[in-house]
Chain A
Amino acid sequence: MSVELLNFIETVLNGLMSGVMYSLVALGFVLIFKASGVFNFAQGVFALFAALTLVGYQTGQVPFAHLINELFGTNYHNWYASMPNFFAILLTMITMIALAWIIERLVLKHLVNQDPIILFMATIGLAFALEGVGDLMWGSDVKVLDVGIPSGGSIWLEEATIGLAAEGSDYYGMYVDVLNIWATVIAVILVVSLALFSQYTKTGRALRAVADDHQAALSVGISLRSIWILVWAISGFIAMVAGIMWGTESGVQFSLSLIALKALPVLILGGFTSIPGAIIGGLLIGVGEKLAEIYIGGYFETGALENWFAYVMALVFLLFRPQGLFGDKIIERV
């Protein structure tokens, strides 16, 4: 095989892997939108908050330490040296469920039956408030997140592909980050579990009923509020997984909340109501932006196509399929 072709395959593979990382964020958006019609602008901050909380539990950081010390003149920072990953993840999950409950009690409950734009605005407020609370709770330092997921280039893949290039060519194997392979495996498990949950459990079926028609679901006795708490808790869990993956890659810091911007073109492309759409959309965006950056980027003086090219792709899709690849067709009855 020619080195050019191998490089092209490598770019596509890496694009797919990046796409999975985007899909992880997009999944949280889709779940909430499907069940409640709310476009949760705070999904990126959810991922940040979950990652901050996880590191906080892992390292035994006292929440709100700065505030407590300022108010009471104390000097508390840590209450234990470290916590095993399993317990830290479990505690973070409980925290995210508690957060979902608080959001439902304090925000959503009071906005039932309001226009979608009001709910959207509420999530913008929620995003900034949660970012501020995260800062107060855990501080703004860059935090190292290690839950034992390996990272770095896959040596196995490098060695397996080095021989594929024509003899004498200057090629040293294909590169894929092991962390991204893990992210792919985790995303597959997540999607399969979600599908099984929504198909084969009573709660899952209730969730689907609410997603299909709120009024009909209410009329058969499904509690809208418990479903909302459940959905926000699940998307909190997905945000935690996304936070772990992105946080392992770059360290946990406040720019992590901006990963939501990576999910937007994925949603436009895949549709706001489709889980497979979030996955396929992520993959298409990932591949598209990597190919654009590597093969077209050189023709632009400024380069750096990676960020905005995803939005160009999304815009093109919007023109031809406003509901996205797998979204429900918008039918307005007169």
Chain B
Amino acid sequence: MRIKQLLIGMTASVIAVSSYVEMAIADLKFPMLVYRTGAYAPNGIPNADGFVDYYKMINARDGGIGGEKIFHPECETGYKTQVGVECYEKNKKDAMVFQPMSTGITYQLIPKATADGVTIYSTGYGRTSAANGKVFKWVFNAPVTYWDGASIAVRHILKQNLGNIKSKKIALVYHNSAYGKEPIRTLETLAKKHGYKLMLLPVDHPGQEQKATWLKIRKARPDYVLMWGWGVMNQVAIKSAASIKFPMENFIGIWWSGSENDVLPAGQGAHGYKSLTFNAPGTDYQVHKDIKKYVHDKGEASGDGSHFGTVLYNRGLFQAMVQVEAATVAQKIHGTSKITPAMYRDGFENVNLTAKRLEELGFKDFAPPFQISCENHGGSGLAAVQQWDAKAKKWNMITEYMYGDSDVVQKLIAEDSSKYAAEQKIAERCN
């Protein structure tokens, strides 16, 4: 009797597993490298929820992309590079695109994905010089890069000082990792150009203890502090800055150091803190109405739905939207809904998110328009400055979207990417 039951059970499991695999093969596979556990989970969860809710909404509202359902298996990385690489290896078969959600993982995946013919999309993070599509065929980092970010922050400081920052001192507090080190080169080049003094202050993972760093800042008294932080490092830095009474309006974080999670623990002390951003917070957009109608109201929200409209949730929506749009474009180019990973890449290279298209997708005024081309995988390079209002507990955009110093950034991108091309023996394309 027991053997019979066991056999029935095993047969049922085999049927269930094979139908799942069959379904997965027929669908468009968008694997997700997430970190819903570990030290960086508070940032990883809202971002992953944004992705999942958007995919669910597209599947429910439109029946998928061109009739093909999105299949989005999750793989937990815990923000660990080695685990991220393992997740990639496990999920790369038939995958359209990988969003590594970590600069360290992105660096590791670039050569692998290039060899495997899989698209990597590192939205506003990863290797900055991947913006050069002539060298990095399979990697995209639109709409803006870290080097754009560094120069936009300096441009903002220049504007505040009527274009003269010769005597100023700018400190960079950064996560001591591939991610945190990314803007150093740009800031050093800009320091030579504008004459400011740059002070570099690394903070080791996870950044729970930063007393020495902020004592140094208190002694050196820089005029501005820029921050490339992630996770607890952001919260401790903002709290420490408030504690030493550093003027918060002169403290500017990159777009990964500007979520509600980062400022709330510091309470009123965080009032006035600034960060860059390439997407708006809030829920006043058509995409949110659609997600509410097709996902949340049906009890299908990813997680408990409490992150809806937060900075990182909205960034997840934006990232997922670009990935879905690339599939739509690929289907149009190749005249088939059943696209291959190579076709998908073609689609990515032809994404053109005009203001009109963003409105059609439910993202009107959510982010600035941008276009990707064979040469330019880095997008518009636009970002704005947002400022935290601790009383109202909300971020306010205080500038228009602005460009960085493209002369400096483009030169650095060309240098770095040609070095990479020489190392990897890659022939430039798009000629």
Contact = CB atoms under 8 A, between A and B. Distances in A.
Interface of A: 7, 10-11, 14, 17-18, 65-66, 69, 73, 77, 131-132, 135, 139-142, 144-146, 151-153, 175, 177, 246, 249-251, 253-256, 258-259, 262, 289-290, 293-294, 297, 302-304, 306-308
A294 B201 CA distance: 11
12 contacts: A69-B304, A141-B45, A142-B42, A144-B265, A153-B244, A177-B243, A249-B239, A251-B235, A253-B235, A258-B206, A306-B209, A307-B204
B204 A250 contact: no
Interface stretch (B214-222, B317-325, B326-334): B214-222
B18 interface: no
Interface of B: 36-42, 45, 176, 200-204, 206, 208-209, 211-213, 215-216, 218-219, 231-232, 235-236, 239, 242-245, 261, 264-265, 267, 269, 299, 303-304, 306
Given A131-B37, A250-B265, A293-B212, 9 more contacts: A140-B37, A141-B45, A142-B235, A253-B232, A254-B37, A254-B38, A289-B212, A290-B212, A308-B204
Contacts of A135: 37, 41
A73 B303 contact: no
A207 B232 CA distance: 38
Query: What are the 7 tightest A-B residue pairs by CB atom distance, in nearest-first order?
Result: A251-B265, A255-B39, A293-B212, A304-B202, A307-B204, A140-B41, A255-B232
Contacts of A293: 212-213, 216
A254 B265 contact: no
A10 B215 contact: yes
Contacts of B243: 151-153, 177
Contacts, number: 120
Contacts of B203: 304
Nearest to B266: A251
Contacts of B304: 65-66, 69, 77, 139
Contact of B176 (A177, A246, A251, A304): A304
Contacts of A17: 211
Given A142-B265, A302-B176, A254 B212 contact: no
A135 B36 CA distance: 10
B317 to A, nearest CB: 19
B299 A258 contact: no
Contacts of B239: 151, 249-250
A306 B203 CA distance: 9
Contacts of B261: 141-142, 251
A288 B213 CA distance: 14
Contacts of B216: 293-294
Contacts of A14: 211-212, 215
Contacts of B209: 18, 262, 306-307
- Looking at B41, B200, B208, B235, the one whose CB has the most chain A CB atoms below 10 A away is B208
B242 A246 contact: no
A255 B231 contact: yes
A68 to B, nearest CB: 11
B232 A290 contact: no
Contacts of B299: 73
B409 to A, nearest CB: 24
A289 B315 CA distance: 38
Contact of A303 (B42, B200, B211, B306): B200
Given A153-B243, A253-B42, A304-B204, A175 B231 contact: no
A62 to B, nearest CB: 11
A226 to B, nearest CB: 35
